[in-house]
Amino acid sequence: MHASDSGPGGPNDLTRLIDDAPWSGYQKLVLVWLALVFAVDGLANQSLGITLPAMIADWKVRPDVFAPVTAANLTGVALGSVIGGLLGDRVGRRWALIGSILLFGAATACGALAQQPIELMIIRLIDGLGIGAAIPNGAALISEFTPARRRGRAIAIGMVFIPIGGILAGGLGATILEMLGWRTVLVTAGVVPIVLGLSFIALLPESPAFLLRAGKRQELDRLLARCGIAGTASREFVIPPLEKATAPMRVLLVPEVRRATLLLWGGFFTCLMASYTIFSWVPTMLHMLDFDLTMTSLGLTTFHTGGVIGALFSGLALDRKGFSTTHMALSGVAAILALTLALLLAGDVRAAAVIFPTMLALGFCMSGLHNTLYTLAANTYPTAARATGVGMAAAVGRLGAVLSSFTGVRSLEMGGSFGFFAIVALLLALCGLSGWAARGARPGSGEPSPKRAQA
């Protein structure tokens, strides 16, 4: 074996082999299965918000009684992102993902048994653990099954199914909430992921890179053959030193990736703080500006609609233009749009025909920006720490989401609509700079070259 054969990027590098091969029908089928995971993840996560008004009426309590319930859910998602990532790197993405789906499916269904808010709080904490654990393992599997030239769009397709799952939750609530009650909605939202998780025991394959690291060579060769990569039995695949690590959390802070890790965390933190500031407070802000309740809901729906389109667009842009160009363009335009909204509303512009299209464009850019960060995270770390790396970044982002509860209301109190969107614009600019610097912190880790991506 030549020295060049044994190094990363050589003919005995498994990642390079998958990158250079065609994107097979089986690999695309795996992407479809993983997109369904993100859909049921969004369905379970949004089921609480859909059923909350009915619970308040049924239990005859004030809305603020449920604040600890929503906080427990967010806390569970953050913890689950870390724990799920660690489990995925230790026991394999397949079983960590199946376990997380079954956990949040069962917990969502068990919410129907709750008789008081304290019981629901405990259940939603457990629910959040499963919801959070699914994301890093799903993202890692997509990354490891997809050639680099198609990875951006593949992760985008997966991630866009999270808000689609939220849309499904809304449809479920609109269909059966009034007729059958909130308990039936929760049972239905829980049974669907349970069925999917059980089917994955027979259907879902393990990551090729994880099989190599685990020494399961025969299983790896069979899987590669299903992916259209035959004749690998005689190859001596090389496992780089970082791929052999047994303590994935430590890998995140080794000298080669430490700076990238910290900057990536900064990107996730500012991106999710900006996003959840919008999610949580835009309806309230619009109501303060004398928009009626229908229009306040429409404003947030418009933002989410732009997000679905933007997530898909960002995947195509990542594959064609690379990370740096796509990330900086989306963050820059998003910051300008947020600042534009600040100036419009400060200037007493209230026309929905002006405000809502700007909100649509802002949602487009912010969702795409979020997707670029997940793509960067999935490409920054070696197999031994990939799920942990994505999970930790997502967990730090959730801390930003929690803090948005305070930044949103304080910005409204201190600066009104101008201060609100000015803070969002600042966060988006910081997110852009953090992601750009993280990409440059570890050469070659963040993106395939655009030229190769178009091959």
Better-scored residue on pLDDT, 358 or 213 = 358
pLDDT exceeds 50 at position 399: yes
Q: What is the pLDDT of residue 31?
A: 96
Burial tier of 351 (Cβ tally within 10 Å: 0-12, 13-18, 19+): exposed
Instruction: State percent of the chain over pLDDT 90.
Output: 35
Continuous H helices in 111-229: 117-145, 148-180, 182-203, 208-213, 217-226
Cα separation, 126 vs 107, in Å, equals: 7
What pLDDT does residue 190 have? 94
Q: What's the Cα-to-Cα distance from 88 to each of 99, 233, 377, 445, rounded to whole Å? A: 10, 26, 15, 21
| DSSP-derived secondary structure letter, 64 | G
pLDDT of residue 229: 87
What's residue 36's pLDDT?
Answer: 95
In this prediction, residue 244 carries a pLDDT of: 58
Where is average pLDDT lowest: 205-209, 212-216, 340-344, 359-363?
212-216
Q: What is the pLDDT of residue 111?
A: 94
Query: 391, 81 in Cβ contact below 8 A?
Result: yes
When pLDDT is averaged across residues 266-293 and rounded to a whole number, the result is 79
The pLDDT score that the predictor gives to residue 408 is: 67
**pTM tops 0.75:** yes
pLDDT score of 338 more than 60: yes
pLDDT of 449 over the 70 cut:
no
Q: Which residue has the higher pLDDT, 440 or 186?
A: 186
Q: What's residue 9's pLDDT?
A: 47
Nearest Cα neighbor of 376 from 239, 242, 454, 271 is 271
Structure tokens at 442: 């570890």
Is 60 exceeded by the pLDDT of residue 3? no
Domain architecture of the chain: domains with CATH: 7-239 (1.20.1250.20), 248-453 (1.20.1250.20)
pLDDT tens track for 217-264: 889 989 999 998 887 776 777 766 656 555 677 778 888 888 989 999
Looking at per-residue pLDDT, the higher value among 26 and 166 belongs to: 26
Of the pLDDT bands very low, low, confident and very high (cuts 50, 70, 90), residue 455 is very low
Q: What is the pLDDT of residue 431?
A: 95
Residue 127: predicted pLDDT: 95
- Provide DSSP, 305-324: HHHHHHHHHHHHHHHHH-HH
Q: Tell which residue, 66, 124, 132, 36, has the closest CA to residue 401.
A: 132
Mean pLDDT confidence for 265-293: 80
Model confidence pLDDT, tens digit, residues 363-389: 999 989 988 998 888 888 877 788 888
